[in-house]
Homo-oligomer: A and B are copies of this chain.
């Protein structure tokens, strides 16, 4: 691959086989590893284009990665070249007149959010991994907590610049708010997990920053009561976020974060975030909300600290688990009226298999995250159990009309459950599209799309 050195002239941005950090041969879980001949760090679209053009001419596989927070194996390389876009992380343009920001794909979500909020603007999507890149967010149509009110990443992508499999550079979308000018190739790219091209620039929609926020925590005597109130809340108003946590799950976060949830006698919680133009708007929403709730107690965070502590407990759940044991993360989504059914099923399955399962997640949109705890089991036993639990969970999810991925993607990890969820005719159309966009099948060919 001598040609690469003529494309990327800075030797610090080319790393050869044996020197590639182990973390770059894996995903965010660091449990499985692939192999690659070369890791490159391009800094311009032109460099990406030339690398891809070269790889295409030789039929070399390419795996694209941002911050490597992926949880489903999409960044585990299948030989060939790893393109790491993390150095392409600059803000290209803030256009206050059209409420858009144009950035390179390697910018971290947290950096983007902080930067725009300093301008009194707001980028609503808020996936859990704040250290993920925007390019990765677009490739998985990342969602997060604020999706209840504001929608997911898809809803904020105005335009993308993409390097196609043959190295050509195309643009999809624009700064126009409405667009019915031809098939929406932009929407096809969003969530395509790097299989159709490499996003090298993106223009995102911003909104005015809400001036006031409030966090409430509502305690219930049972998970059933908590879940029964989700629909009531959504019929009353659209909260910014609506999360559910069971008491026993909250304890993990409490121990890890050092903060306590209020209402310690509750068995299950709904955490509600409200936002608005001013305190008065918040007050009204709060009154509407509380007027319609039944069989519960509530606590209103009166200070920023109190709110931060509640979110710190919620936000630390995964890390709390990982500090104790290896865990397998699940990202299923069910229609919002099936949340209780699914949660109950996880409890049955826990009793049956002995695998501890911590369920929590985005109650407002039916996106349930589970941590399946390894708890010191030997590798072979854990793999067998995991397969058994996965089969059962994804089947139940399917039977409830759910899907195996809300926001993590399919990657390599969920191929079987993808096949279960998506009929063969649909899968063939996806493959036909992949074939048209990447005739030599070099881009992220390790992930699901060619194995279905």
Contacts and interface: CB of A to CB of B under 8 A. Distances in A.
A259 B191 CA distance: 49
B180 A423 contact: no
Within the oligomer, what is the number of copies of this chain?
2
A442 to B, nearest CB: 17
Contact of A334 (B176, B333, B409): B176
Interface stretch (A42-50, A348-356, A428-436): A428-436
Nearest to A366: B177
A280 B147 CA distance: 26
Interface in A129-154: 140-143, 147, 151-152, 154
A452 to B, nearest CB: 8
Interface stretch (A5-13, A102-110, A233-241): A233-241
A185 interface: yes
A196 B184 CA distance: 12
A430 B183 contact: yes
B429 A180 contact: no
A222 interface: no
A85 interface: no
Nearest to A434: B183
Nearest to A414: B181
A425 interface: yes
Contact of A191 (B154, B168, B174, B184): B184
Interface in A202-219: 207-208
Contacts of A429: 170, 185, 436-437
B178 A430 contact: no
A178 B366 contact: yes
Q: Which of A179, A422, A426, A436 has the most CB of B within 10 A?
A: A179
A177 B423 contact: no
A408 B97 contact: no
A280 B409 CA distance: 42
Nearest to A437: B429
Interface stretch (A61-69, A376-384, A399-407): A399-407
B407 A178 contact: yes
Contacts of A174: 335, 401, 403
A178 B367 contact: yes
A236 B211 CA distance: 11
Contact of A177 (B147, B164, B278): B147
Given A97-B231, A181-B410, 11 more contacts: A98-B336, A143-B180, A174-B335, A181-B422, A183-B188, A183-B192, A187-B188, A187-B190, A188-B188, A281-B281, A436-B436
24 contacts: A97-B335, A98-B336, A98-B337, A99-B234, A143-B178, A155-B155, A168-B425, A171-B426, A174-B401, A176-B402, A177-B333, A177-B336, A178-B333, A178-B362, A178-B406, A180-B406, A182-B448, A183-B196, A183-B434, A187-B190, A208-B238, A281-B284, A429-B436, A433-B433
